[in-house]
Amino acid sequence: QWGRWVEIRVDDRLPTRDERPAYMHCAQPDIFWAALLEKAYAKLYGGYAFLKYGSIGRALQDLSGAVVQSVPPSAPLLGGAVPRSTLLLAMTSADKGTKRRRTGGLLSEHPYCVTGLARVRTTNNSESSESSGNSNDTNLVRLRSPWAGGEYGGVWNGAWSERSWEWNALGERDRELLASRSQHEGEFWMAVPEFLQRFTVIWLAHIGPDDWALEPALHSRAPWRAALAMRQWRSGFNAGGPHKHIETTATNPQFRIRVPNGNPGKAHVVVAVAQKYECYRTRGNENEPIGFTIYEVPPGMPRVTPQYVNEQMPLDFAELQSLREVVTFFALPPGDFVVLPHSTQHREGKFLLRILADQHADVWEVNEDNLVIHNISAEFCDERAIDCRFIYKLRTRYPPEIDAVQLQQILRSAQVGLTKSLKTFTSVHGPSLDLCRALLALRDPALGGRLTIDSVPSLVSLLKFWKAAFRRCGPSTSGTLTLTRSIWNTKVSSYALRGLLWAGGATASNKVLEALVSRFSRDKQITLEGYLMSMARLHLAHDRYHSLDAKAKANPLTLEEMILMTIYS
């Protein structure tokens, strides 16, 4: 269940009807494993009555823990899946006017296990053919009926069945070899073209490497290489929706797949996105739409950006479907690819991403380091532009050290020689007391709650640079900028916060960015005040961490932990 096994305990009491088992049972009356398995499965869903809402794919997923998908049958698919640790179930088509049995002995609308493949060379026994040496290669598929030995049978009786004349065209050695491979009751061979004609869908259950190691019956098949991640979509942070939402889809969680050069042929890759679900009393109509998009990217590109989404078409995508899990099979050449799992825009929820590959491929989540450039404002702001009269008035009107309240008065004063917008500060618009406390802490390493008056101009320059970055990048990345008389009333989509941080000279990891959005945004929007608080807290956390790291021999905290603690302080 959602990537983990669930233990179900049942007793040996089975429901009966007229002194016979009421539900699934074996032909032999002293064998009860099938009935007990069904009882445990029914308990998982809340009762026998809820099993009628199930499907073959859901049962395969629940009982095997595999990545399950349904595809139309094809010969290349059989050749690629059968040698792997993948279980295959083929479903016959429906015959009109027949209740169960169809032409050739197959059962209508019933699953058959695909257990093997073979290629044989047949020769015509006629004298003319023998003299000419004509021969044909025939591809065969081996299947097993679920009703073998039972009332319905369901065993194929057409070409290449057990007593068909086609076996006479094989050599004795080939006949013995294929007969030895078909030792289980109910197994039979049929030609691949006949199979493609009579079966309409194939269910693939890709077994992960952990479960493959626990099942000896699969050790003859090559295992998959697997990578999985449990993440969540958060509204305003990374619930960007499908690729049609150009401005926000790049905020979805991104996972990179790198297929290295030197591999023989293309890499077969299975991408599966499952949403959080509960088996108990589910009827299949509780699922929300989910999907994913995959882009091919240049090797030096760190992440998919809104600009890249706008300019490039995705390599492929799984459309939004209200399913428990969405699965797609790819054949990827050497290169770099980025997978973006998504749901509908702004929809929150947890998801499980599983990526399987048949050869070596590097898979990792796209993430940034936590970095800040402390002197970036000095590179863009000329300190000579600071009005000397402003410094002189600060020294004459305020004491050598000021507190957060006095800093707020200075920043809200019309005497601050910045831009016209800063001259419009009033008691309503302008930096709050909390922001002033955070700015003061940047220049207060002694933790005394005081700031020297000579440090105010540098803080003003830093504020000016951050405000310019907010004004410059907000409209271009979010498209939701609402201009009013004061920039302090401006609101920008919180999905654009990563770009705003970068414009202000900082980068944040996914976890830190999520915490910033949760802390300083509201209704999927962030104001200038929230942006400035984010920048101030990031700088403060970096300063405190490096100060602690220099003093302590062994720092018990990581930089990310320090940032998360500072954000919520």
State the catalytic residues. Answer: 110
- Nearest residue to 539 via CA among 504, 514, 494, 568: 504
Angle at CA of residue 59, ends 54 and 60, nearest 5°: 145
Q: At what angle do helices 433-442 and 404-412 cross, to 10 degrees?
A: 110
Neighbours of 465 (CB within 10 A): 20
Q: State the Cα–Cα distance between residues 404 and 386, nearest whole angstrom.
A: 21
Q: Which residue has the tokens 């004349």?
A: 165
Q: State the Cα–Cα distance between residues 233 and 275, nearest whole angstrom.
A: 10
- Nearest residue to 303 via CA among 349, 232, 364, 370: 364
Identify the burial level of 76 via C-beta atoms within 10 angstroms of its C-beta, where 0-12 means exposed, 13-18 middle and 19 or more buried. Answer: exposed
Angle at CA of residue 459, ends 457 and 461, nearest 5°: 70
Cα dihedral sign, 279-283-287-289: positive
Q: State the Cα–Cα distance between residues 8 and 6, nearest whole angstrom.
A: 6
C-alpha dihedral, 351 to 352 to 358 to 359, nearest 10°: 90
Residues contacting 250, CB < 8 A, separation 6+: 240, 303, 304, 305, 306, 308, 309, 340
